[in-house]
């Protein structure tokens, strides 16, 4: 690689020009990248709920009901007028209310009270609304404009529309806060006022290249858009920090800027490249998820790491050399303390800490699997947000409720009637709007008005709209889905289609829980192989992976012990991201330990290693922690919030393990490491001071 780096440093202007052109192009391309906030869009195409939704849109020209709108203090005539106004909103394809279930011209007191209370209760009208996916934001804004803040709306379409708008604003806020904080941290950990600027410019270039090139995907998920850039900033900072510290070491030996950078590139290439490769593999493992947010985030982040490596090995060193005079003119004293004392303290307490660590391995592994999970998007907004308050207001009046739509082959009204009657026996179903239920099997279709008929009958299928008194997800909701599917299978074996948010969430649960073991095994195995190849050791990969994996298990077991529910997608993503992002610290520690172990006895090598790696690890780890917590405490999107909090806490745990536990593991495994690592020769015990 020395010849390659030499060529790069000799063609500084060309490198800057190439990057400048690429950045201008990507700045234009990033505006064309679309973001999808609907989790259900990322279900496998073969899942039964996805097949049902696609068929329903084809047969009926619209999707499933995806919003509930409540208007308070209205009479029946006023409620009917509001229904007409809702139907006129661009993007609203269907609105169902009480008049679709009963004849509202007759006294409500004479009607089935359970049906009436489903749609109209204490002068509150509840509408079941279907909003087109491509007009969600516009339609939800229009509905809010119609009903005002005093009334309420909830549902998947509403959550998606609100997330679309709020997340963009919140991410901008996070970036505005994060950049000054990162700059301040870099000021503390570098010795020039200019170096942090160059570092941020370099990382920003890699992020912009990645953002613009996301156009190859056409559309990216809200997770990728919300966390991708922030994660790339935090995890790729390692590369620049590692190279900078190596460069400073070479300059202190009296070399010129160019020679120092060439030596630094050659010396740090193995560490940086192995760290980058583990990140790429860790993120790429998400591609193996059947739930398509995983591949979406994994490919984007893996690509981002490639751009970060490309930048740190070309653009960053070139800019450093070009700016050398400015760097030297703006030198300041180091604001970081020496960490020799930390090394001595750790060397005294590391063995008891290893014992405590080992005692935590099994309980944390078991606890992580006992977490309670949310699988869908129905809980992404807390009760402190407008969406959360709206959902609570509707639930307080009408109770927990959602809608499912069942399609069966058209033509056999007798069988439809039997199916309809048996579905009514399911306790959680409070109402059914269907041809046989509302008109009766004995009434010919030509006697029904066209609008009603179009809602319930297509050329090939009959449609039943079921109102289910459950939450969108949970044990009762999922059990109801299974009951409805079993009942439909009884009368129409293999010929029925069921759709709805609960149905999609049930399929989502099946999909992403199946992904868990596969994704983690692939990530761990791949990173193990990379570390094995880099260190040419059988024992070091076991030690490093075990150390970081245990930090992950402790991190994701905390919600279980605290008693709060975790979004499964957040849990699954953080398991891969924390492994990829923080195993770098363990790799750097092990690299430097092996170097020092050839010169010093094992306890002294531990102390020297901690003193040398403390600043780069603390720099990267602090940035990753702060950015994680900023994401966690600023965004209102539940999934992104949990990713941020778990990332912040997980990084702290990984740093703690690397600084306080890994030294003990290496110390206790010293003889084993020497015997199972190719090309190393350690100081012998009898020479220990």
- Give tens-digit pLDDT for 557-598: 999 999 889 988 888 888 878 887 788 899 989 999 999 998
pLDDT of residue 454: 67
Fold: same for 1-32+190-333 and 336-370+536-689: yes
Indicate the range of 1-5, 39-43, 152-156 predicted with least confidence: 39-43
Q: What is the mean pLDDT of the chain?
A: 87
One CATH from 1.10.3210.10, 2.40.50.140, 1.20.1640.10, 3.40.50.720 for 336-370+536-689: 1.20.1640.10
pLDDT of residue 556: 94
User: Cβ–Cβ contacts within 10 Å for residue 600, how many?
Assistant: 20
| Mean pLDDT, rounded, for 272-277 | 84
Q: Has residue 167 got a pLDDT over 80?
A: no
| Mean pLDDT, rounded, for 494-518 | 84
Tokens of 338: 């020496």
Tokens of 86: 């809702």
pLDDT of residue 451: 60
What does the pLDDT look like over 630-663, one tens digit per residue?
988 888 888 889 989 999 999 999 999 999 999 9
Q: Has residue 455 got a pLDDT over 80?
A: no
pLDDT of residue 689: 42
What does the pLDDT look like over 602-620, one tens digit per residue?
999 999 999 999 988 898 8
For residue 74, with 0-12 CB atoms within 10 Å meaning exposed, 13-18 middle and 19 or more buried, which class applies? Answer: middle
Q: Which residues contact 359 (CB under 8 A, 6 or more apart)?
A: none
| Mean pLDDT, rounded, for 19-38 | 91
Residue-by-residue DSSP string for 474-540 = SHHHHHHHHHHHHHHHHHSTTT-EEEEHHHHHHHHHHHHHHHHHHHHHHHHHHHHHHHHHHHTBSHH
447: confidence class by pLDDT, cuts 50, 70, 90:
very low
pLDDT of residue 164: 79
User: Structurally, what CATH architecture does the domain formed by 47-157 represent?
Assistant: 2-Layer Sandwich (3.30)
- Better-predicted residue by pLDDT, 6 or 451: 6
pLDDT of residue 684: 62
User: Cβ–Cβ contacts within 10 Å for residue 263, how many?
Assistant: 19
Q: How far apart are CA 408 and CA 496, in angstroms?
A: 5
Q: Residue 409 belongs to what H/E stretch?
A: strand 402-409
Q: Has residue 168 got a pLDDT over 80?
A: no
pLDDT of residue 438: 63
**Nearest Cα residue to 584 out of 648, 519, 658:** 658
Superfamily of domain 1-32+190-333: Multidrug efflux transporter AcrB transmembrane domain (1.20.1640.10)
Domain ranges of the chain: 1-32+190-333, 47-157, 336-370+536-689
At residue 36, the 3 state secondary structure works out as strand
Indicate the range of 55-64, 312-321, 449-458 predicted with least confidence: 449-458
439: confidence class by pLDDT, cuts 50, 70, 90:
low
């Amino acid at each position: 690689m020395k010849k390659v780096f030499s060529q790069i440093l000799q063609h500084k202007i060309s490198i800057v020009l190439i990057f400048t052109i690429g950045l201008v192009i990507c700045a234009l391309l990033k505006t064309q990248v679309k973001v999808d906030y609907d989790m259900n869009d990322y279900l496998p195409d073969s899942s039964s709920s996805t097949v049902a939704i696609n068929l329903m849109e084809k047969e009926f020209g619209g999707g499933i009901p995806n919003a509930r709108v409540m208007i308070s203090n209205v009479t029946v005539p006023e409620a009917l007028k509001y229904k007409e106004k809702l139907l006129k909103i661009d993007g609203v394809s269907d609105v169902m209310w009480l008049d679709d279930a009963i004849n509202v011209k007759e006294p409500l007191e004479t009607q089935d009270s359970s049906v009436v209370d489903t749609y109209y209760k204490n002068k509150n009208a509840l509408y079941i609304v279907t909003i087109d996916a491509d007009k969600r934001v516009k339609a939800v804004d229009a509905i809010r404009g119609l009903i005002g803040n005093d009334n309420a709306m909830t549902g998947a379409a509403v959550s998606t529309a609100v997330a679309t708008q709020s997340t963009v604003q919140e991410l901008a806020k996070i970036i505005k806060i994060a950049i000054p904080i990162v700059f301040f941290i870099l000021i503390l950990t570098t010795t020039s006022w200019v170096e942090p600027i160059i570092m941020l410019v370099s990382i920003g270039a890699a992020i912009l290249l990645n953002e613009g090139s996301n156009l190859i995907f056409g559309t990216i998920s809200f997770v990728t858009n919300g966390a991708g850039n922030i994660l790339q900033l935090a995890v790729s900072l390692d590369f620049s920090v590692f190279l900078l510290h190596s460069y400073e070491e070479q300059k202190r030996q009296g070399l010129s800027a160019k020679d120092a950078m060439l030596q630094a590139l050659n010396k740090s290439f193995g560490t940086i490249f192995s760290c980058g490769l583990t990140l790429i593999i860790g993120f790429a493992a998400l591609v193996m998820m059947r739930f398509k947010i995983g591949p979406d985030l994994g490919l984007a982040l893996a690509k981002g790491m490639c751009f970060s490596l490309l930048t740190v090995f070309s653009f960053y060193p070139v800019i450093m050399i070009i700016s050398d005079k400015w760097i030297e003119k703006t030198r300041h004293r180091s604001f970081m303390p020496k960490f020799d004392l930390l090394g001595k303290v750790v060397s005294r307490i590391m063995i008891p800490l290893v014992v405590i660590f080992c005692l935590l391995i099994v309980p944390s592994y078991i606890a992580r699997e006992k977490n309670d999970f949310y699988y869908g998007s129905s809980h992404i907004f807390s009760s402190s947000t407008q969406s959360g308050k709206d959902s609570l207001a509707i639930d307080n009046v009408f109770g927990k409720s959602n809608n499912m739509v069942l399609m069966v082959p058209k033509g056999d009204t007798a069988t439809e009637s039997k199916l309809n009657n048996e579905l009514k026996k399911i306790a959680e179903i409070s109402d059914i709007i269907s041809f046989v239920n509302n008109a009766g099997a004995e009434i010919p279709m030509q006697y029904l008005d066209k609008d009603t008929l179009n809602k319930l009958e297509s050329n090939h299928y009959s449609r039943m709209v079921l109102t289910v008194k459950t939450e969108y997800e949970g044990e009762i909701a999922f059990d109801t889905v299974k009951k409805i599917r079993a009942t439909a299978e009884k009368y129409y074996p293999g010929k029925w289609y069921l759709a709805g948010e609960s149905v999609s969430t049930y399929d989502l649960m099946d999909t992403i829980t199946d992904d868990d073991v596969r994704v983690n095994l692939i990530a761990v195995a791949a990173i193990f192989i990379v570390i094995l190849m880099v260190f040419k050791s059988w024992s070091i990969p076991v030690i490093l992976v075990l150390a970081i994996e245990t930090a992950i298990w402790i991190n994701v077991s905390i919600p279980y012990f605290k008693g709060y529910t975790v979004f499964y997608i957040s849990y699954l993503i953080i398991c891969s991201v924390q492994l990829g992002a923080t195993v770098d610290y363990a790799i750097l520690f092990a690299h430097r330990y092996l170097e020092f172990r050839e010169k010093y006895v094992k306890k002294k090598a531990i102390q020297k290693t901690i003193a040398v790696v403390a600043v780069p690890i603390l720099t990267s780890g602090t940035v990753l922690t702060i950015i994680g917590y900023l994401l966690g405490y600023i965004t209102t999107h539940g999934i992104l919030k949990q990713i941020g909090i778990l990332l912040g806490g997980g990084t702290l745990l990984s740093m703690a393990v690397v600084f306080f536990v890994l030294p003990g593991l290496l110390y206790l495994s010293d003889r084993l490491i020497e015997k199972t690592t190719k090309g190393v020769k350690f100081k012998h015990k009898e020479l220990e001071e």
